[in-house]
Amino acid sequence: MKKKIITFIAIIGISMILPACSNMHMTGGVGLNFSGGPYGMRVTPSVNVGMYGGGYRW
């Protein structure tokens, strides 16, 4: 258990030092999609998870 915690902390520490991972952004969204058809309205849930790996976003 101790080894897993130390490994996890080491990975987090290294990812903050490396320039490739320093600008990483994670976004998420939850919503509902409404669609109509021959049998009436239909509602489906949608869940989005996106990761952006660095550089300028605009």
For the chain, the domains span 2-52
- Residue 17 buriedness (CB in 10 A; 0-12 / 13-18 / 19+): exposed
Q: In degrees rounded to 5, what are phi and psi of residue 56?
A: -85, 135
Rounded CA-CA distance 12/32 in Å is: 34
Residue 38 carries which DSSP code?
T
Rounded CA-CA distance 44/30 in Å is: 11
Rounded CA-CA distance 58/52 in Å is: 12
In this prediction, residue 25 carries a pLDDT of 67
Tens of pLDDT, residue by residue over 7-46, are 888 887 776 666 555 566 677 888 898 888 888 889 999 8
